[in-house]
Amino acid sequence: MRILAMDSSGLVASVALVEEENLLAEYTMNLKKTHSETLLPMIDAIVELTGIDLSGIDAIAVSAGPGSFTGLRIGSATAKGLGFALKKPLISVPTLEGMAYHFVESDRLICPMMDARRKQVYTAIYRFVDGELTTVMEGCACSVEELIRKVNELNQEIIFLGDGAAMAREMLEEGVRVEHRYAPLHMNRQRASAVGARAFDLYKKGKTQTAAEHAPVYFRKSQAERELEAKGKHLASDSVSRAH
């Protein structure tokens, strides 16, 4: 069985072709490039270099969120387009779960953190029990201070990873009172191979979608939506004031 996996949920763009016990190819970039410029060329490069026709894959896995609104939409649109064209099912992999899969053999708590701006992070806390991913803290958008309080309450050794951990490292060092460490450079960001590894587990559990069913998952509204909502409230307030 083969899965084409992709992640464009953050600054990293990553594409991988995976079998259940084998990583066939992976192309990952962590540069300020627009994902719309990189994702399809990366897929084309993998196809050309491996000589594997995408018609022979069994499913398409995509990191579905949370993350960058633009990045998630690009990844989702790419996966849906391929799903429609190839008539293949999609596997929607929560971004934070995919990141946690870097440490599938670890017995420590795992805390992926994505910089969500506005002094917040997208985060969750997981643990692997006999190779099975279990959720200790559900994914959410929260302040770094809130996360630190939760980590200290759990009082267990923990691994931090993600650009949110890099952004908040000084705060983590000052506030976290339990034994903790940070993921090494080859495991500290999103990678499509980890998305693919998680996708195999979800596929076995029957958690697939059609291309038409798939949609990104957001933990909060986009800036444009927030600004539009604020503008609407302002206009409504003005209307009430004039009425009085």
Determine if the pTM surpasses 0.85: yes
Q: Are residues 32 and 54 in the same domain?
A: yes
Domain span holding position 30: 2-96+190-224
Which pLDDT score, from 0 to 100, does residue 242 have?
58
Q: Indicate whether 135 pLDDT > 90.
A: yes
Find the range with the poorest average confidence among 154-158, 192-196, 216-220: 216-220
Which neighbouring-strand residues pair with 93? 63
Q: Indicate whether 107 pLDDT > 70.
A: yes
Whole-number mean pLDDT of the chain? 91
How many helices and strands (H and E) does the chain possess? Answer: 8, 10
Q: Indicate whether 238 pLDDT > 70.
A: no
Angle subtended at Cα 67 by Cα 64 and Cα 70, rounded to the nearest 5 degrees: 90
pLDDT band at 33 (very low <50, low <70, confident <90, very high): confident
Euclidean distance between CA atoms 231 and 235, whole angstroms: 6
Residue 48 one-letter amino acid: E
pLDDT band at 219 (very low <50, low <70, confident <90, very high): confident
CA distances for 207 relative to 113, 165, 203, angstroms: 25, 30, 5
Q: Are residues 89 and 195 in the same domain?
A: yes
The alpha carbon of 152 is separated from its chain's Cα centroid by a whole number of angstroms, namely 25
Other CB atoms within a 10 A radius of the CB of residue 142 amount to 17
Which pLDDT score, from 0 to 100, does residue 244 have?
56
Q: Are residues 72 and 115 in the same domain?
A: no
Residue 97: CB partners within 8 Å, gap ≥ 6? Answer: 124, 126, 133, 198
| pLDDT, tens only, 165-209 | 999 999 999 999 999 999 999 999 999 999 999 999 999 999 999
Q: Are residues 85 and 199 in the same domain?
A: yes
Q: Are 43 and 53 in contact (CB under 8 A)?
A: no
Number of structural domains (the chain) is 2
**Number of alpha carbons in the 13 Å side-chain half-sphere of residue 201:** 14
